[in-house]
Structure 1
Amino acid sequence: MLRSMYSGVSGMKGFQTKLDVIGNNIANVNTIGFKSGRVMFKDIMSQTVSGVTPPNDTTQGGVNAKQIGLGVSIGSIDTLHLAGSAMTTNNPTDLRIDGDGFFLVKMNEDQDVPFLTRAGDFHIDAARNLVTSDGLFVLDSDGGPINIDAEVTAFTIAQDGTIVQKMADGTTVPGVQLGVAKVTNPEGLEKIGGNLYRVTLNASPDGEFEPGTANSTEFGTGAIIAGQLEMSNVDLTSEFTEMIVAQRGFQANSRIITTSDEILQEVVNLKR
């Protein structure tokens, strides 16, 4: 059987995966805090027809190896943790991290390692807890849920994450600080849906990390900007360009299979 047919099949599979990733990027173009993905290809091991011959000073020069490539495979599917544009909402519980870092959220008190997110569209629930739109607790710098006291009439959030509370008597009291974490390798985080990431062993040593604070030189985290949200970092111009490339690549590889099939048909027709 012709090698080119299997090379064409591998190419079609690779470009199908690329189209899947592009489709997911475009679908999440308006998802708050979404980070786009990209597909990188790598060639498959080549078949060596003849090896290398070293040069000989007295008889002949060196001869290069003859190798035939056997197709392509997926090298990696990367998550690009580039900052998205700022969207001003003027909602005091809408938060954006201007720089590196992630917000910390938990489903319940029993969860050991919190989830990470860049989506800062938070809310105050009936128990006056700061939560995500899915009801997950937003954590402070000590790793505990954030609760706004009933005596607080208004509050603002500073760039370092401190919740500045205005009390009923008119006094201003600093509250807890929002927790912000930074991992060694953000691309090693696992997407679990709901704008959440799970820490893996390749994202942070031992799969754990210590909660820090925003706008910190110690932790290397960015400032928190209240009244703004981070938009998706999907660039539609690039995505549609890559879609065209993937479509043409898929078509070209399908032509390889068609041509290989026609050649095999000619071989079969040699015996009539």
Structure 2
Amino acid sequence: MLRSMYSGVSGMKGFQTKLDVIGNNIANVNTTGFKSSRVMFKDILSQTSSGASAPDGTTTAGQNAKQVGLGVSVSSIDTLHLPGSAMTTNNPTDLRINGDGFFLVKMNDAQEVPYLTRAGDFHVDANRNLVTSDGFFVGDAGGDPITLADNVTAFSISQDGTIVQQLDDGTVDNGTQIGLARVTNPEGLEKIGGSLYRTTVNSNIDAIEPGVANADGLGAIISGQLEMSNVDLTGEFTEMIVAQRGFQANSRIITTSDEVLQEVVNLKR
């Protein structure tokens, strides 16, 4: 079988994966806190017909190796943790991180390692817990769920994550701070849906230590704003055209290889 046919198949598979990733990026262009992905390729091991030779210093010159590549494969699918655009909502529980860091999110108290997110569309539930749109608990600087006081009448959130609660007796409670976490390798996080990330062995779990916003290199928390998707539609459409043309070109390699094989078969007639 012709090597060109296998190369064409590998190219079609690679560009199909690229189209899948681009399609997901475009579908999430308005998803809060979404981070786009990209596909990187690498060549497959080449077949060597003759190796390199050294010159003998007198009459024979050195020769380079003769190699034929065997196609392409996907080397990585990276998540681009670049900041998304800010959208002003004026809702006090809509929070945006201006800088590095992730919000800490837990499904319940029994969960030891929190999930991470950049989506700050939070609200206060009937039990006065600060939760995500899916009902997950938002963690404080110690990683514990945040619960407002029983007699709170109003509250605001400052840039350092402090929740300033106005109580019905006229006093102010500012003892709760929203926690943020910094990850050594954000690209090592694993998407689990709902704009949430799960830590992996390559994202350095030990580095996920709840911190205070606007301190120790962590970003400030902006109340009344949301971080939107970082998908660049212009770039995605450009990459989609490149992937489409690459897919078409590789399919043409397969049909051309098939025509060559057909000519070989016809030689026996």
**Which amino acid in 1 is paired with 2:253?**
I
Pairing 1:137–2:157 present: no
**Which amino acid in 2 is paired with 1:68?**
V
Offset of residue 169 of structure 1: 3.2
The CA RMSD over aligned residues, in Å, is 0.9
Offset of residue 110 of structure 1: 0.6
SS of equivalent residue, structure 2 residue 211: coil
Matches within 5 A, 1:79-228: 79-205=79-205, 209-217=208-216, 220-228=217-225
Deviations 1:163-218 (A, max 9, x none): 01112233333131001000100000000001100011100145x6221111112x
Partner of 1:15: 15
TM-score computed with the length of structure 1 as normaliser:
0.97
Deviations 1:16-40 (A, max 9, x none): 0000000000000000000000000
Question: Distance between the aligned counterparts of 2:170 and 2:242, measured in 1?
Answer: 61
- Identical-pair percentage: 78
**Which amino acid in 2 is paired with 1:234?**
V
Question: Distance between the aligned counterparts of 1:118 and 1:43, measured in 2?
Answer: 35
Partner of 1:266: 263
TM-score computed with the length of structure 2 as normaliser:
0.98
SS of equivalent residue, structure 1 residue 58: coil
Question: Distance between the aligned counterparts of 1:175 and 1:154, measured in 2?
Answer: 15
Offset of residue 151 of structure 1: 1.3
SS of equivalent residue, structure 1 residue 73: strand
**Which amino acid in 2 is paired with 1:264?**
L
Question: Distance between the aligned counterparts of 2:255 and 2:115, measured in 1?
Answer: 48
Question: Distance between the aligned counterparts of 1:229 and 1:94, measured in 2?
Answer: 6
Question: Distance between the aligned counterparts of 2:30 and 2:266, measured in 1?
Answer: 56
Partner of 1:233: 230
Partner of 2:2: 2
Offset of residue 56 of structure 1: 2.0
Partner of 1:244: 241
Contact 2:102 2:117 in 1 (8 A): yes
Question: Distance between the aligned counterparts of 1:221 and 1:124, measured in 2?
Answer: 24
Question: Distance between the aligned counterparts of 1:156 and 1:37, measured in 2?
Answer: 35
Gaps of 5+ in 1: none
Number of residue pairs matched? 269
Question: Distance between the aligned counterparts of 1:93 and 1:205, measured in 2?
Answer: 28
Gaps of 5+ in 2: none
Stretches (4+) displaced over 2 A: 169-173
Partner of 2:59: 59
**Which amino acid in 2 is paired with 1:105?**
V
Question: Distance between the aligned counterparts of 1:200 and 1:232, measured in 2?
Answer: 23
**Which amino acid in 1 is paired with 2:250?**
N
Contact 2:122 2:130 in 1 (8 A): yes
Q: Which moved more, 1:87-96 or 1:57-66?
A: 57-66
